[in-house]
Amino acid sequence: MGVFLVQRSEKRRALRHMERRVPLSDTEFGQTFFSHDRAGIAARLRHLLQRHIVVDLSGIHPDDRLVEDLRMDALDSLSTVEFIVDVEKEFGISLPNDIAEKMRTLRDVVDFVATKLPNSPLQTDR
């Protein structure tokens, strides 16, 4: 019962963080906060993230911190690892642990993925 109460408290905390924001669909999220070349990536990543967080992400901002603001680790301790694995599968890229550990926001993930996709003007060899 204690674990359930903690999880419920963390869920409320994450929801409070987003409560006054206008809800957006995945597509609207990408188009609102990202350039044309990254909007589709952002929409796909938000959709993937929703599978790993038990709160409604329609009010997420790309600069919300995944752990501190959205309580990703507190709500499900494996969710962060599972999210990274899904990102790698979805986009056919490798996300090294040292890079993943530095990512704090969804914007960080979008920026990294965008640089790894073929035909990206910012593509790096990392």
> What DSSP assignment string belongs to 1-58?
-HHHHHHHHHHHHHHHHHTTSPP--HHHHHHHHS-HHHHHHHHHHHHHHHTT-SS--T
Residue 121 belongs to some domain of the structure = no
Average pLDDT, the chain: 85
Structure tokens at 68: 């501190």
Residue 122 belongs to some domain of the structure = no
- For residue 82, what is the domain's CATH number? 1.10.1200.10
Confidence of residue 124 (pLDDT cuts 50, 70, 90): very low
User: Number of folded domains in the chain?
Assistant: 1
Q: How much of the chain, in percent, has pLDDT values that exceed 90?
A: 59
For residue 58, give the nearest of 113, 31, 19 by alpha carbon.
19
Angle at 120 between CA 31 and CA 80, to 5 degrees: 65
Domain that holds residue 98: 2-116
